[in-house]
Amino acid sequence: MDGKVSTVTKTVYVSSNGRAVTVFRRPDFYYALTNPKGELKLYFPSSNEVFSRTDPALASGEELLMLFLLGRASDLGLSNFGYKGSVSVREEGFIKRTFTSPEAARPTVEIVYDNYLPIYCCYTDPSGRVLSKKYFSHYIRESRFVFPGRVDDITYNAHKKDSTVVRTLYSNLQIDSSAPEFDFEIPAGAKPVQIDPTTLK
């Protein structure tokens, strides 16, 4: 079994008005701008192209950093997608809640908390098979909020008896920074990316 690894490096700039600018640096350099309305723009400086999309799921409020900033990390944003949480139960010294969606096809989600901070999240399909597990650790504590410095995400592939592991490491968390990226705007001359699904038929 040969493992493959891909590394993505990004910096997230979140403003108090909910505007988020994410600068992806590896493996490709591009900007992602979002706002609470779910208006997303992806700008690729190398080709001066911009891709636009509006979708509630893409709202800046769904970014992990924003969830913790706004104090909505208790359900990791699941309530925005119609999930309802069960009564909390205590297990092995932790608190556990189960979240279910009114749509039967969607996975069931279990979140485990330590001192009210999520440390574990498990997705299970309707048949009971574990689809993925996420672990939140190394919480960074600032004066106004806390944020996980490390997120490990393991997605299980039942057919190939293999898995995909995503390790996300957050660092250099700054509050009240004055970086110019907060005010980044896409150049006026950027070319909109055309979407033509007919070419794929």
Partner 1 sequence: MKKLIVTIVALLSMAAFASAANYTVNEEAVDALIENSAAITSVDVCAQAVATSSSTAVAAKAIQPVVALILDFFLGGFGVHRHYMGTSKAMWALYTFTLGGIFGIVPLVDLIMLIIGTVNDDISRYIGNTSFFMWA
Per the listing, tokens 């992990």 go with: 64
Per CB under 8 A, does 21 bind partner 1? no
Per CB under 8 A, does 170 bind partner 1? no
What is the nearest approach in angstroms of partner 1 to the Cβ of residue 181? Answer: 15
Nearest to 109 by CA among 128, 95, 123, 120: 123
Per CB under 8 A, does 45 bind partner 1? no
The contact pattern for partner 1, residues 57-96, with x = CB under 8 A and - = no contact, is xx---x-x-----------xx---x----------x-x--
- Its sign, for the CA torsion 168, 174, 179, 184, is positive
In the list 19, 39, 106, 139, the residue contacting partner 1 (rule: CB under 8 A) is 106
- What 3-state DSSP class applies to 198? helix
**Does the bond joining 36 to the residue before it have cis omega, within 30 degrees of 0?**
no
Per CB under 8 A, does 154 bind partner 1? yes
Per CB under 8 A, does 135 bind partner 1? yes
What is the nearest approach in angstroms of partner 1 to the Cβ of residue 121? Answer: 8
How many residues touch partner 1 under the rule CB under 8 A: the total is: 67
- Its sign, for the CA torsion 35, 37, 42, 43, is negative
H-type alpha helices, 112-189 = none
In the list 1, 87, 175, 188, the residue contacting partner 1 (rule: CB under 8 A) is 1
What is the nearest approach in angstroms of partner 1 to the Cβ of residue 143? Answer: 26
Q: Residue 73's CB: how many other CB atoms inside 10 A? A: 23
- Side-chain-side CA neighbours of 30 within 13 Å: the count stands at 17
Give the CA distances from residue 80 to residues 71, 102, 184, in Å, rounded to whole numbers and listed in that order.
14, 12, 28
- The binding site for partner 1 (CB under 8 A) comprises 1-8, 22, 24, 27-28, 30, 32, 40, 42, 51, 53, 55, 57-58, 62, 64, 76-77, 81, 92, 94, 105-107, 112, 114, 119-121, 123, 125-126, 131-135, 137, 150, 152-155, 157, 159-160, 162-168, 193, 195, 197-201
